[in-house]
Amino acid sequence: MPEVCYKDSAGCQILNYDYNGFLVPPFPNIQENLDKLPDMPVRDDDVLLLGYFKAGCHWMWEITGMLVNGSAEYNPESKMVAMMEYSSQDQLDQLPSPRVLNNHLLLHHLPKEIFTKKSKMIFMTRNPRDIAASAHHHTFQLKELHQYDGDWNGFFELFFEGKLNYGNWFEYMLQWEKDIKDHPELPILIVKYEDLKKDPVSNVAKVAEFLGLPKNDQLFEDIADKCTFDKMKAAKLTQLEFRTPDESLFRKGVVGDWKNWFTVSQNERFQVECDKFDKQSTLFSTKY
């Protein structure tokens, strides 16, 4: 798989791999994993978690795992063990059922059996400005992987131009919108990060109903409490998922942090693309 290194205005470069025109992270064995993914066997009780990276997938992975297991207990593993582009087929096969398999891919990358099994899928969305700010910190924290050591201004340009893992956010979301509309037979629940933040209990209940799980108000409240950002971050750190607090992929988990990063000029440029996007999209919106 060819390497693609894009440079920002300061000359700092970010490393991607090009998988048939789709930019992916430079994970070990990612080409083999992606090549095998379409033929991966799907179990009847699998749940697939979808969305652009930093849209809240770690959060929803914990919530969904608690729901399908009927217990407000944190998963002792990292989300990476169930990440379809990161883990091998053998590793995914070894996960116990029910599996919550997460990815940041497009529909045509996924196992073909989802069309016959009608696998339940949850798609996370979030304000793209907050995604950009969070993605900057994520990329910088994992600079050994991405080989990027630039600042916010440089990263903004890369994000704006789609020269990073999983490509341009606007194009990614429009492709998913097309795929969702082209395949109405697929059960896909769209969950907004901001809605989950504002009313976690109701949204946990909504996910449970979508998954066909029995109503359990006490469990929903317990899960919402356990999955508050600070508690979840602290729990994952104690599980030694990361070596130090500075390396945690859980950073702030707040709505509107982008305002601390975007310049007026950057926001104006971004808004032009948001306006174009909102005219094309009926499922998603950049208006928060």
Which amino acid is it at 199?
Answer: D
Q: Is 104 a catalytic residue?
A: yes
DSSP summary character for residue 222: H
Gap between the Cα atoms of 223 and 244, Å rounded: 26
Give 68-73's long-range contacts (Cβ < 8 A, gap of 24+): 68/98, 68/100, 68/211, 68/213, 69/98, 70/213, 70/216, 70/219, 71/219, 72/219, 72/222, 72/223, 72/225, 72/226, 73/226
Q: Where are any strands of DSSP class E within 63-178? A: 100-102, 120-125
In this structure, are residues 65 and 81 in contact, taking their beta carbons and an 8 Å threshold?
A: no
Q: How many CA atoms lie within 13 A of 266 on its CB side?
A: 20
Catalytic-role residue among 58, 104, 136, 146: 104
What are 214's two structure tokens?
């029995």
Which residue reads 């398999």 in tokens?
101
Active-site residues, by number, are 104
